[in-house]
Chains A and B, each alone.
Chain A
Amino acid sequence: MSASLAPECNESKERYDTCFLRWYSDKFLRGSAQTNDCDSLFRTYSACLTRALKDRGIDNMVQEARNEAQETDAEHLVKGRIPPS
């Protein structure tokens, strides 16, 4: 797995990433996933990352980008979109 921008979050990130990858290949791709089994591991990692973004003074920049993501959502969060050829 890849590292976190914050070394202090690497451990919780690794645990979450490992869980996610298994969920993705074993459940999500097989159409059997309703909820994500890795939610609690994600919450731990996310709390660490949120703090790290704030400490580094990049939390606002990231939040602005997230707020503007509706544009790509409108285009891609649509079922059965035909892939480009």
Chain B
Amino acid sequence: MKVFSCSSDFDYSWDEVSTGNWQKYSPWNKKAPHVIAVDTLSRTVDAATGILRTERLITTKQESPRWIKALLGDCETSLVYETSYVDPAAKTVTLCSHNLTWTNILSVRETVTYSPSKTSPLTKTLMTQRAEITAIAGGWERIKNKIESFSVERFQQNAENGKAGFEMVLARAREVFQEERNSTMAKQAAIA
């Protein structure tokens, strides 16, 4: 098993990031062409805790290098299952996901959290990301290692692009919010 983990700050409030999270793979994000669909399976507010629980199915498509294809076959399209939890009182978003396809070869379990930054809780948001990657393909340890290393590298690339893409979504969402507010104020001014 190999572990990938990182954390970083976003220069946006937790409200903005937690809302933007639902638009992370919208066309505003030009950095995640590998995510081709995000479907919601269920969504409920837990009566006891007030936590919003969401189940999603994420479809990705990403070209693999030739040696991976030779070993594992053509595994371009994958499905990921995600459960997420938003606690609006504690201001936490937790997203837990794992792969549904190619599970006979590889297990990828990821947890992402968003919470207000400790140093600037009103204006910044801390993201943490941790993934456990295990190659299951039986046989040679060297091959397993190679598959795991490749997956961790791919994860790293996607995580870097993921942050840059999410920043694009957050910037656009802030603009749209501002435009809406301006137009509402203009309308109210016109009435008054």
Contact = CB atoms under 8 A, between A and B. Distances in A.
Interface of A: 1-6, 9, 13, 16-17, 20-21, 24-25, 28-29, 31, 33-36, 42, 45-46, 49, 53, 58, 61-62, 65-66, 69, 72-73, 76-85
A42 B35 CA distance: 22
Contact of A5 (B37, B52, B89): B37
Contacts of A29: 15, 18-19, 88
Contacts of A85: 118
A58 B85 CA distance: 24
Interface string B33-44: 001111111110
Contacts of A72: 83, 96
A18 B41 CA distance: 16
B132 interface: no
Contacts, number: 120
A81 B19 CA distance: 20
Contacts of A49: 39-41
A83 B35 contact: no
Interface of B: 15, 18-19, 22-23, 25-26, 35-43, 45-46, 48-53, 55, 57, 59, 79, 81, 83, 85-92, 94, 96, 98, 100-101, 113, 115, 118, 126, 128
Nearest to B89: A80
B19 A84 contact: no
Contacts of A4: 37, 39
B53 A31 contact: no
A62 B42 CA distance: 12
18 contacts: A2-B25, A2-B35, A21-B19, A25-B19, A29-B18, A49-B40, A58-B79, A61-B101, A62-B41, A62-B100, A66-B41, A66-B42, A66-B55, A73-B83, A80-B89, A80-B90, A83-B92, A83-B113
